[in-house]
Amino acid sequence: MDPLDTLGRPLHDLRISVTDRCNFRCVYCMPKEIFGKDFQFLPRAEILTFEEIERLVRIFVGLGVQKIRLTGGEPLVRRDLERLVEKLAALGDLDLTLTTNGSLLAQKANALAAAGLRRITVSLDSLDDATFRTMNDVDFPVAKVLAGIEAARAAGLAPIKINMVTKRGVNESSIVPMARYFKGTGMTLRFIEFMDVGSTNGWRLDDVVPAREIVALIDREMPLEPMAPAYRGEVANRYRYKDGSGEIGIIASVTQPFCADCTRARLSADGSLYTCLFATQGHDLRALVRGDATDEEIAKAIAAVWTERTDRYSELRSGDTAGLQKIEMSFIGG
């Protein structure tokens, strides 16, 4: 039973937010003014247990999911996350990965690799300490993230991808130094256009550094050529260095939307299913998991949501949509 949505898109990827908490307050994701001392994060009892996540993943795999990404919030702040990795790795031939801010990776890389994680994505927005601290807003130094990346490499997690959100006037000047640093390392640097996820990050179109500008900046010093996508639904546009020293990716969800091939579903930490990063509403799976629904009944419920899916937010984005009350990125994961 591999359901297709109303635009003929299959369900191939599942992103699982394992916690809505984070030790960073990135200005484009969890601005301090909103996510301050008094912010109410999910109580523990509302968060899916590892056993509940494992059961849901099994069901999603039955519906065609091949790729699982653990995310958050910051996934590595969830205690014993490697136990979940171990459970999911045991489910068989899944492409299992994780996106992290890298802050706890130096301690965790070996345990994650031993549990069966194969590859990893680390977010890093600049190599310049002052710029990075401005973006993470908790005074976290670049060196510790680089140490985390090194630990991941040493633990054999590969390939490693690096995510850099680019925000006009904040870290544009870090684009070329980041490209220089990761060129020839075997790691793929991916630039992400600043997106209007959620409704708290004060997004304005003027703050987006468009993909073509990023490519032009790098190409001037390190010539690039476009590459074909590796598979249908790949979110990043790929470019390789003409001298053969690697590639970069650009996730241009604002200037070059890719909804037509979007095969991704998202599961929030409290067990709601979202069919778009820009959704305003989820579908409660936790009630089914904690009720007496059978796996077949849950599969049917998920398939029913997916077959009715019409999402293509990025293709419809406008001044009006930016103001919608959307779910926060830290809640449903990137």
For residue 75, which of 106, 56, 103, 96 has the smallest C-alpha distance?
Answer: 103
Restricted to residues 85-104, the positions that interact with ligand SAM (CB under 6 A) are 99-101
Token pair belonging to 197: 């996820």
CB neighbourhood size of 191 (10 A): 25
Restricted to residues 193-212, the positions that interact with ligand SAM (CB under 6 A) are 194-195, 197, 201
Q: Which of the listed partners (ligand SAM, ligand SF4, none) does 288 bind, with a CB threshold of 5 to 8 Å by partner kind?
A: none
Token pair belonging to 126: 């600049």
For residue 241, which of 266, 259, 215 has the smallest C-alpha distance?
Answer: 215
333 contributes a contact to ligand SAM by CB under 6 A: yes
Binding mask of the shown chain, residues 20 to 59, with x at each position contacting ligand SF4 by CB under 6 A: --x-xxx--xx-----------------------------
215 contributes a contact to ligand SAM by CB under 6 A: no
Binding mask of the shown chain, residues 120 to 159, with x at each position contacting ligand SF4 by CB under 6 A: ---x------------------------------------
Q: Which of the listed partners (ligand SAM, ligand SF4, none) does 277 bind, with a CB threshold of 5 to 8 Å by partner kind?
A: ligand SF4
Give CA–CA dist 249/227, Å, rounded: 10
Q: Which of the listed partners (ligand SF4, ligand SAM, none) does 286 bind, with a CB threshold of 5 to 8 Å by partner kind?
A: none
User: Please, which residues have CB within 8 angstroms of residue 87's CB and are 6 or more apart in sequence?
Assistant: 50, 51, 53, 54
313 contributes a contact to ligand SF4 by CB under 6 A: yes
Binding mask of the shown chain, residues 169 to 198, with x at each position contacting ligand SAM by CB under 6 A: -----------------------x-xx-x-
Which residue type, as a one-letter code, is found at position 219? D
Q: Which of the listed partners (ligand SF4, ligand SAM, none) does 311 bind, with a CB threshold of 5 to 8 Å by partner kind?
A: ligand SF4
For residue 53, which of 42, 68, 39, 31 has the smallest C-alpha distance?
Answer: 68
Q: Which of the listed partners (ligand SAM, ligand SF4, none) does 276 bind, with a CB threshold of 5 to 8 Å by partner kind?
A: ligand SF4
Q: What is the CA radius of gyration of the chain?
A: 19
For residue 285, which of 15, 52, 98, 73 has the smallest C-alpha distance?
Answer: 52
Give CA–CA dist 204/212, Å, rounded: 18
Question: Cα–Cα distances in Å, from 303 out to 60, 232, 281?
Answer: 9, 21, 17
- Interface region with ligand SF4, contact rule CB under 6 A, candidates 61-69, 104-112, 240-248, 252-260: 252-260
| Site residues, ligand SF4 (CB under 6 A) | 22, 24-26, 29-30, 72-74, 101, 123, 253, 258-259, 262, 264, 276-278, 311-314, 330
